[in-house]
Amino acid sequence: MDEFELINLLTRDLPQTDSVKVGPGDDCAVLDLGLEDRYLLFKTDAVVEGVHFTAEDPPEQIGYKAMARCLSDVAAMAGHPTHALITLALPQEFDPARIEGVYQGLKIAGAPWQVSIVGGETTTNPDRLLLSIALLGTVLKSQCVRRAGARSGDALFVTGELGGSRTGKHLDFRPRLDEARWLAENFPPHAMIDLSDGLAGDLRHLLKASACGAELHARSIPISRAARLLPRTDASAKPPLLAALSDGEDFELLFTLARTKAVALLDAWKKRFPEIRLTCIGKITDTPGLILRDKDGARPLTLHGYTHFKKS
Ligand SMILES: [Mg+2]
């Protein structure tokens, strides 16, 4: 059973009241608790030693990553993060300085958006560190962006550059909160997701939620320098385009917008975020499935992104 089959199994029959506007299956849960103009966003995410970081990684970067991953999911809904709870599971024998470093990283990651850390839980776990964050946020009801909502003919955009994040970016990325909120105010996306499992995999999540398909233009995909350089030093590294399509943990935004607004968006983006690339990488189609178009023509892209459990 793979990760997504397991999620389907577990989320088949969960108790939910009318306050749940969006339950499992988006980047955050969306809750209506009676605030006049805002929904609450609710998110949890865990990082585990040996999976998301190594024992040798600097503690501050581990904490930073744990918080920034959650912040990226709030960005994907065009929300604003507000409060976090931290659950820490650690071996009986631990180095207090390491844990202090982890907390330092958590604080640094949330500081630009004044995220309050309001409590948590510590428990033991044999052998390795596990860090789980529960994050609350808010979003204007009129600006909440979901994975569902992409329309046939929409242009498909991605921020930043993709692939090769394992060389360092996965521990040291800035969640695209400011960019997402600017988009929601100025060029409201029809659908949006953050890239954690890889472009091919996360685009499929967006397409499934929106019940449509997409065509990607291979030449347009912004491949990171790391993904381009890796094959030169590591014979086992993926070819750059494959890395950009399938590597996890880019934490960029993938969104769709009416094609007629594409040029105005690109012009305005360049003025507002001159340091960050924004690229149109294809379009939404009404034929389900994912097509990759390159110099040899168009063919179905069967590739999936990163999943935690292998099929057995
Ligand atoms: Mg996400």
Ligand 1 centroid to Cα of residue 14, in Å, is: 20
In degrees, to the nearest 5, what angle opens at C-alpha 218 toward C-alphas 212 and 223? 115
Instruction: Answer yes or no: is pLDDT of 305 > 80.
Output: no
Query: Could you tell me which residues come within 8 angstroms of residue 33 by beta carbon, excluding any fewer than 6 positions away?
Result: 19, 40
pLDDT tens digits, residue range 37-86? 999 999 999 999 999 999 999 999 999 999 999 999 999 999 999 999 99
Q: pLDDT by residue (tens digit) across 11-42?
A: 988 999 999 999 999 999 999 999 999 999 99
pLDDT band at 307 (very low <50, low <70, confident <90, very high): low
pLDDT at 231 exceeding the cut of 50: yes
Question: From edge to edge, which strands make up the β-sheet containing 253-257?
Answer: 191-194, 253-257, 155-159, 278-285, 213-217, 289-294, 297-300
pLDDT of residue 217: 97
Is the pTM higher than 0.85? yes
Q: How many angstroms separate the alpha carbon of residue 271 from the centre of ligand 1? A: 27
Distance 248 CA to ligand 1 centre (A): 11
178 Cα to the center of ligand 1, angstroms: 16
- What is the 91 CA–ligand 1 centroid distance (Å)? 29
Ligand 1 centroid to 94 CA: how many Å?
Answer: 31
Taking residues 95-123, what's their average pLDDT?
97
Give me the pLDDT at residue 303, please: 74
The predicted model gives 184-195 an average pLDDT of 98
- Give residue 295 CA to ligand 1 midpoint distance, Å: 31
Distance 232 CA to ligand 1 centre (A): 31
Q: Ligand 1 centroid to 222 CA: how many Å?
A: 20
